[in-house]
Structures are given as structure tokens and as C-alpha cells.
Amino acid sequence: MTSSKLTYSKSGVNISKADSFVKFIGSISKKSNKNGDFKNIGGFGAISPIPKKLKEPHLVTSTDGVGTKIEIANDLNKFDTIGIDLVAMCVNDLVVQGAKPYLFLDYISISKIKFNKLKNIIRGIIKGCNISNCKLVGGETAEMPGTYTSNKFDIAGFAVGLVEKKKILNNKIKNKDLILAIPSNGIHSNGFSLVRYLLKRKKINFKSNKFLKKELIKPTKIYVKEILNINDKNLINGCANITGGGLEDNIKRVIPKNLCAEINLNNIKVLRIFKWLHKMGISEKEMLKTFNCGVGFCLIIKPDKLNSVCKYFEKKFKPYVIGKITKNSKKIKISGKLSW
């Protein structure tokens, strides 16, 4: 064996393909960035200007992935929406603090660079950034032969938001406030390991089921625009992004000491996909612990602000009351049953 055969490409890494992909990202990012403030793609680090309008700016950061929903994308060979999920999982956490998403970076690790797959993933990321009015300013694409098997990949995102000190959503929740549910767009990006386990155990071919095929790849709803609008009007006392852990685990994270979130499950509008999962044998307890069950985001507001808040949402995502804040040392109380 001669030393000439010991090359990076022989090991499974193609730098020229990676360079071509970076150029594609730079090109598509430029098209979506009309003001030209961000010119970082391909550089060593992303340089971004700090907005001058903020008087007391605070940074809010978030990082997340989409879990095993990427396996659904692989099974369906559909990659143009998984990037929206990635952005949503990060920016929906930023707005819980009242922050406006500003910058986004992605990390894609893959067994072998395949242009069509990667281009569709990036298109989804940029679409998610456009929906949440933030910019893709950089990232990393890692070709990792031997770590990922053929066609396998993973993605992670990192978002930076900015918020004025007086607009930070913390310690504003009061006794007698209402708890509102904002409907989800479906499963979003949590609980897919359980979904995939169920499909395998029940031997269900979801690729031939029109309903499941649509529901399982449906992208996570991005709540940024609506939440920022109502926070700008000082209509929110608190909020929670309902992700892994469901209603109980996420809402209690924002409830102050000596106050309690009392939630009546009877009021929750359960989406069809969750009714199907329950019918397939997942208990209500497990459903509530794993999935959003139709509630993608929660708002906590003063009772007299209900009508003002609701007008900022389209019909499909109109908030509705599921509980109230009371005085109690226990942070959350759940009553009632979901309607299956």
C-alpha cells in the first residue's frame, strides 16, 4: 500500500462536497436576508450587529434538537420540514422569556453528504427562521463515517434572542390569573421514540396510511409572532412551551412559590392524532407525561385580558381557558379527564 492512497476522501469524508454545500447555504441565506446585516456563512465565526433600539438588552439563549422524529423523516424520505421543527424547538423556548429570536445556528452530522437531503433540511431551517423572524448566521455540517450508519443523521440548533429588561417574563404571575391553552399543530417534536415503538410493536406501516403519514411529519408550530405581539402589549403574566414532560412538567417550571396552577383536563381539546395514540394502547397517564395532547403552548394572563389576547390568534390556534392560578404550596393540581 502506498501513502498516496491514504486520503481523507478514502476514509469517507469529502471536503469538496462539504465546501459546495457551504456555498449553497450562503447562497440561500443571502436570498432570505434582504437587509444584508449577516454575511457569516463560511467564516470561522458569525459576526452580528447588536440592535441599537434596545435600552437595556438582555440575551436569552436556547439549544435543542428534534429527537427521533428524524427517523420519521428518513422513513418517508421527506426532509423539507424537519428544519422547521429544529428552529421551533429553540425559538419557542426563547419567547417564554419574552425574547425576540435574533440569531440561529445549526449543527448537522451525517454519515455521508447527500446534497438533496441536506439542501431540503437547510431549506426547512431557513423557512423556520423566516417564520420566527431570525437569521441563520452559521453552523456546522459534519460528515462522520463510522459513527452514523448509512443514511442516518442528526441535527441540533442554537438560538439567541434579545429582550428589554422590562419585557422579561418572570415573577409576574398572580393569584386568580387564567391559564390558557394555545393549540398545538400535532405531536410537534416530542415523544417520537414512543410513537415509533408503538408502530413497530403493532406492525403498522404508517407510510401507507395517509392520516399517519401526514400527522407524523407535520412540523412544530412556531408561536413567536403571536407571543411577541401580546407581550409587546403587556398582556402576558407568564407562559410555558409544552414539550417533553407534557403539561404538568412544563407549566410548573414557571409557577412562583406559594402559587398553584390548577388545570382541568375536561377543558382540553384533544387532537385526533392523540386520540389515535390513546386508542392504540397508550394510557392517559403516559399520554400526559409524554405528549402535548393538543396544547402546544400555555399563557397565564389576567382574567380581564382574555378577549384582547385571543384577537391576536388565527382560528386554528385560538387560546382557550384550561385553568387558573390559586394560592397553594403545591405548584400544580390536575383534575378531570381528557376527552378521548
Give CA 82 to chain center in angstroms: 10
What local confidence, expressed as pLDDT, does residue 228 receive? 97
Q: Are strands 100-110 and 320-327 parallel, antiparallel or unpaired?
A: unpaired
Q: pTM for the complete prediction? A: 0.90
**Residue 67: CB partners within 8 Å, gap ≥ 6?**
189, 190, 192, 193
**Residue 311: CB partners within 8 Å, gap ≥ 6?**
none
Residue-by-residue pLDDT tens, the chain, 340 positions = 455 676 656 656 566 665 665 666 666 666 666 555 555 665 677 788 888 888 999 999 999 999 999 999 999 999 999 999 999 999 999 999 999 999 999 999 988 888 889 999 999 999 999 999 999 998 888 888 888 888 899 999 999 999 999 999 987 999 999 999 999 999 999 999 999 999 999 999 999 999 999 999 999 999 999 999 999 999 999 999 999 999 999 999 999 999 999 999 999 999 999 999 999 999 999 999 999 999 999 999 999 999 999 999 999 999 999 999 999 999 999 999 999 9
Task: Give φ, ψ of 145 to 5 degrees.
Answer: -65, 135
What local confidence, expressed as pLDDT, does residue 47 receive? 82
What is the residue type of 295?
V
Task: Give φ, ψ of 307 to 5 degrees.
Answer: -65, -40
**276 in Cβ contact with 290 (< 8 Å):** no
| Alpha-carbon dihedral 130, 136, 140, 146, rounded to 10 degrees | 0
User: SS3 of 267, please?
Assistant: helix
Task: Please name each of the domains of the chain with its CATH number.
Answer: 9-167 (3.30.1330.10), 178-335 (3.90.650.10)
Other beta carbons less than 10 A from residue 75's beta carbon = 16
The C-alpha cell 447527500 sits at: 114
